[in-house]
Amino acid sequence: MRPFAYERATDVAGAVAFLADHPGARPIAGGTNLVDHMKLGVADPPALVDISHLDLDRISENPDGSLRLGATARNADTAAHPLVRRHHPMLARALLSGASPQLRNLATNGGNLLQRTRCVYFQDVTTPCNKREPGTGCSALGGHTRQHAILGASDDCVATHPSDMAVALAALDARVVVHGTDGERRLDLRALYRLPGAHPDRDTVLEPTDVIVAIEVPAPRPGSASTYRKVRDRASYAFALVSVAAEVSTDDGEAIRDARIAFGGVAHTPWRAERAEAVLRGNRPSAELFAAAADAELADARPLDGNAFKIPLLRRTLASVLRDLCQTAEQPR
Amino acid sequence: MAGTRANVEATVSLSVDGVQRDVTVDTRTTLLDCLRDRLGVFSPKKSCDHGQCGSCTVLVDGRRIISCLSFAVMYDGATIVTADGLADGGLHPVQEAFIDADAFQCGYCTPGQVCSVVGMIDEAKGGHPSHATEDLDPDASAEPLTDDEIRERMSGNLCRCAAYPNILAAIRQVVGG
């Protein structure tokens, strides 16, 4: 591992200034992904600024009912927080389906969003990878692609985003509060991430001097039911093959008034399923309707040699989630 | 190059198993390597060294974490308890239960398992849910630690001898039910 300078930040502006003064430096908080990358040689920052001791770990409710999740609140504490469990059980369940308890006790909310793909080729510095080393090629193409993307991939990269939390937040229209050299700004979580295109080395639109300070989650919609369902190779402690985050509301248990859906494990970003949502909106729930919603979203899916199974798996997972949520939404709350 | 050295080394003050320890480490030193190689505390085990097995689990300020994916410099001032430190004058009830239930074969993962169980029981007492918890409503009455709950909450600790049934029995002995 390359030697690195370490500084414990005393405030956010200081952390941003440190990043500006030290090209290549990175913020660290939980460290569960970055430390691993430094061991593997995937990352070699010359300096780290530790933001884990800053006062960014609070979870609170705003007057409008939205929640503010501090960037350095640990995933375990976020999932256990009464406000999160009461307002957004989907988000709590997504967090609880990720990693292991010991990791969730370390991993922070900001770091969860910025964790990088677990593509085995990205993490193996002996193989070509356009995300790790632009222009060297993609070893996944023609290789093992069980974990890889079926939506929105490019010829240069077929990696998937590994976060469960980000999938739930994409469905909930969350926003990210970022502190950069020009002060604080907000952006939609969905706009944080970018598809790989010709530049898969860039996961997000953030600048190297940006620090995520909080995540804002809008208030739950009245009469809605939500959940997160993750399908994986093991019952626990594994990344998603596919996952579905969905929030559904119905009109008196009849037609679907609104649906917000995002998929995990299938794309370079958490994948908001707007086409599926449009098919569902205003219609009575039925198996045929759920299949039509999946068809609409998956029309452009491009499976690889090793992951065509994700298409029927995602169709069935979406249908089962929608069936359960429509039944729940029928119950008076 | 004295300035550079000052930049990439740091003195860390840790309470380890009840003993105050000061140690100067290269910033690249993980908490696990600091404990084992610098402080001679060998109960946390290095197995995968990538956060995938749980054998390096220790309690930091009362919470279970894996010690291989953290740099020691980040823990200046922390209180660390390893499986060794749990035995205070006699074996900890969780350690006794592992012996009673024959919850290990080679024993390599056991210190991490034991620390993880202690942390897990505290989390459950504190009302933390798990993925196996059906109703996440914070106002719902706390569910008992079913076998499914225990398996889910312990999924971060692998045992390649597959002593899982006996580990479950050991935990059951401690938590009752």
Provide the ipTM: 0.96
**Per-domain residue ranges for chain A?**
5-50, 224-330
Q: Which residue of B has its CA nearest to A76?
A: B128
Q: What is the pLDDT of residue B142?
A: 76
* Mean pLDDT of the A277-297 span: 98
Asked if residue B52 and residue B109 are part of one domain, the reply reads no
As a whole-number percent, the residues of chain A with pLDDT over 90 amount to: 95
Domain that residue B157 falls in = 93-175
Q: Do B128 and A79 touch (CB under 8 A)?
A: yes
Asked if residue B97 and residue B72 are part of one domain, the reply reads no
* Mean pLDDT of the A37-64 span: 98
Confidence of residue B82 (pLDDT cuts 50, 70, 90): very high
Asked if residue B101 and residue B145 are part of one domain, the reply reads yes
A105 at interface of B, judged by CB pairs closer than 8 A: yes
The pLDDT tens digits for A172-208 are 999 999 999 999 999 999 999 999 999 999 999 999 9
As a whole-number percent, the residues of chain B with pLDDT over 70 amount to: 97
B64 at interface of A, judged by CB pairs closer than 8 A: yes
The pLDDT tens digits for B108-134 are 999 999 999 999 999 999 999 999 999
Confidence of residue A333 (pLDDT cuts 50, 70, 90): very low
Which of these three, B86, B117, B134, is where a domain ends? B86
B49 SS3 class: coil
The pLDDT tens digits for A32-47 are 999 999 999 999 999 9
Asked if residue B102 and residue B138 are part of one domain, the reply reads yes
Q: What is the pLDDT of residue B2?
A: 37
Asked if pLDDT for residue B38 goes beyond 80, the answer is yes
Strand pairing category for A47-50 and A5-8? parallel
B63 at interface of A, judged by CB pairs closer than 8 A: yes
Segments in A97-162 forming alpha helices (H): 101-104, 109-114
Asked if pLDDT for residue B3 goes beyond 90, the answer is no
Asked if residue B79 and residue B12 are part of one domain, the reply reads yes
Q: What is the pLDDT of residue B1?
A: 36
Which of these three, B55, B86, B117, is where a domain ends? B86
The answer to the question of residue B110 being in a domain is: yes
B176 at interface of A, judged by CB pairs closer than 8 A: no
Task: Provide, as residue numbers in chain B, all residues whose Cβ is less than 8 Å from the Cβ of A80.
Answer: 123, 126-129
Q: Do A101 and B74 touch (CB under 8 A)?
A: no
The CATH number that applies at residue B24 is 3.10.20.30
Asked if residue B98 and residue B51 are part of one domain, the reply reads no
Q: What is the pLDDT of residue B141?
A: 78
User: CA torsion angle for A273, A276, A281, A287 (degrees, to 10)?
Assistant: -130
CATH of A5-50, one of 3.50.50.60, 3.30.43.10, 1.20.120.160, 1.10.1050.10: 3.30.43.10
Q: Do A100 and B28 touch (CB under 8 A)?
A: no
**Which long-range CB contacts under 8 A does A151-155 form with residues at least 24 apart?**
A151/A263, A151/A266, A151/A267, A151/A271, A151/A298, A151/A300, A151/A301, A151/A302, A152/A195, A152/A196, A152/A267, A152/A268, A152/A269, A152/A271, A153/A195, A153/A196, A153/A267, A153/A268, A153/A302, A154/A195, A154/A196, A154/A197, A154/A198, A154/A200
Q: Do B71 and A31 touch (CB under 8 A)?
A: yes
A14 at interface of B, judged by CB pairs closer than 8 A: no
As a whole-number percent, the residues of chain A with pLDDT over 70 amount to: 98
Q: Do B123 and A92 touch (CB under 8 A)?
A: no
The pLDDT tens digits for A231-256 are 999 999 999 999 999 999 998 778 99
Asked if residue B65 and residue B37 are part of one domain, the reply reads yes
Which of these three, B29, B55, B86, is where a domain ends? B86
Q: State pTM to two decimals.
A: 0.97
The answer to the question of residue B99 being in a domain is: yes
Task: Provide, as residue numbers in chain A, all residues whose Cβ is less than 8 Å from the Cβ of B123.
Answer: 76, 80, 101
A32 at interface of B, judged by CB pairs closer than 8 A: yes
A306 at interface of B, judged by CB pairs closer than 8 A: no
The CATH number that applies at residue B105 is 1.10.150.120
Asked if residue B105 and residue B55 are part of one domain, the reply reads no
The second-level CATH assignment, the architecture, of A224-330 is 2-Layer Sandwich (3.30)
Asked if pLDDT for residue B171 goes beyond 80, the answer is yes
Asked if residue B148 and residue B111 are part of one domain, the reply reads yes
Asked if residue B113 and residue B56 are part of one domain, the reply reads no
Q: What is the pLDDT of residue B4?
A: 43
Asked if residue B78 and residue B20 are part of one domain, the reply reads yes
Say which DSSP state A204 is in: B
Confidence of residue B6 (pLDDT cuts 50, 70, 90): low
Residue type for position B84: D
- The answer to whether A293 touches A263, Cβ cutoff 8 Å, is no
Q: Which of B51, B66, B73 sits opposite A6 (nearest CB)?
A: B73
Asked if pLDDT for residue A161 goes beyond 60, the answer is yes
A48 SS3 class: strand
Q: What is the pLDDT of residue B5?
A: 56
- Token pair of B91, please? 């074996």
Q: What is the pLDDT of residue A107?
A: 98
The answer to the question of residue B2 being in a domain is: no
Q: Which of A52, A99, A236 sits opposite B152 (nearest CB)?
A: A236
Q: What is the pLDDT of residue A330?
A: 60
Q: Do B116 and A101 touch (CB under 8 A)?
A: yes
The pLDDT tens digits for A71-101 are 999 999 999 999 999 999 999 999 999 999 9
Asked if residue B119 and residue B72 are part of one domain, the reply reads no
Q: How many domains does chain B have?
A: 2
B127 at interface of A, judged by CB pairs closer than 8 A: yes
